Amino acid sequence: MRVEIWSDIACPWCYVGKARFEKALEAFPHRDQVEVVHRSFELDPGRAKGDVQPVLSMLTKKYGMSEAQAQSGEENLGAQAAAEGLDYRTRDRDHGNTFDMHRLLHFAKEHGRQDELIQLFYRANFAEERSVFSEGDERLVELAAEAGLDAEAAREVLADPARYADEVRADEREAAQLGANGVPFFVLDRAYGVSGAQPAEVFTQALTQAWGDRSPLKLIDDGGAQACGPDGCAVPQQ
C-alpha cells in the first residue's frame, strides 16, 4: 500500500501530523508493506527566495491578528508538538520560501533518503536556532549531507533552479486535482484521503480500512491464451 503525504516545511501542522501518522504506522501490523512518499505543497509559493521575515510578523500580516494572538497560537502549537515528543521553538523563528527544499526532497527521493531529509528540515525549521531560510544554500547542503546525501550533488541541485522544479510543480498540480487546498493531506492507495493533523487513532482507522478494502486482482481469462512462466513457455500444439 502506498501513502502519499502532501506537506510543506513551513507548515507546523505538517510537522505534528507526520509524527501522529508515524505513531499509527508503527503500530500497524502491515507497516513493512506500506510505502510512504512525500509530495510537494508550498503554503507561500509567491514569496521570493530572499524574502525572510519573523513568523509572528508573517502571521499578523497574513491573518490580521494581533502579535499577542499570534504568540498564543505559537504556544498552542508548541504544546501540541510536545505532546507528540517533538521540540518546538515558540519564539524567534522565521519564515520564507520553501521551493528549494522541495526540490531537494525530490532529489532525496531518487536516492532513498526522502523521509530522513524531510524530518531534518522539520527539525531545523521548528526546533533549532539556526535558520533554514536566512543562512543560504549551505545550510540546506549541511542538512542534505546529514540525511546521507552527497553534499556536492545537493549543492549542484540548488545551483540549478530548473532541477526538480517540474516535479515540484507536478505535485502541486496533482494536489489541486485531488482537492487538497491545505496541508498536511494524506492519500492512501489513491482511494482514501485524510486532511489535517488528525489524531493517531484516525490514521490507524484509515490505514486499516484502506488495507482491508484493497481488491484482489480480478483475472479475465478464458483459459486458452498462451503464456510463459517459471517452467517455460507453452508450445502451441498442431
pLDDT (tens digit per residue) in 75-84: 999 999 999 9
Residue 126 reports pLDDT greater than 60: yes
How does DSSP classify residue 213? Answer: T
pLDDT-above-70 percentage for the chain: 90
Residue 215 reports pLDDT greater than 80: no
Q: What is the pLDDT of residue 223?
A: 58
Residue 73 reports pLDDT greater than 80: yes
Long-range CB contact pairs, 52-56, < 8 A, 24+ = 52/94, 52/95, 52/96, 52/131, 52/133, 52/134, 53/94, 53/95, 53/96, 54/92, 54/93, 54/94, 54/95, 55/93, 55/94, 55/95
The DSSP line for 91-157 is SS-EE---HHHHHHHHHHHHTT-HHHHHHHHHHHHHH-SS-SSSS-HHHHHHHHHHTT--HHHHHHH
Residue 217 reports pLDDT greater than 60: no
Residue 221 reports pLDDT greater than 60: no
Q: Report phi then psi at 165, rounded to 5.
A: -65, -40
Residue 202 reports pLDDT greater than 60: yes
Helix (H) or strand (E) holding 38: strand 35-40
- Torsion sign across C-alpha atoms 169, 11, 15, 17: negative
Helix (H) or strand (E) holding 37: strand 35-40
Residue 192: is it exposed, middle or buried by C-beta count within 10 angstroms (0-12/13-18/19+)? middle
Residue 113 reports pLDDT greater than 60: yes
Residue scoring higher pLDDT (94 or 223): 94
Q: Taking residues 85-111, what's their average pLDDT? A: 98
Q: What is the pLDDT of residue 18?
A: 98
Per residue in 167-187, pLDDT (tens digit) is 999 999 999 999 999 999 999
Residue 59 reports pLDDT greater than 70: yes
Query: For residue 213, what pLDDT band results from cuts at 50, 70 and 90?
Result: confident
Q: What is the pLDDT of residue 168?
A: 98
Query: For residue 214, what pLDDT band results from cuts at 50, 70 and 90?
Result: confident
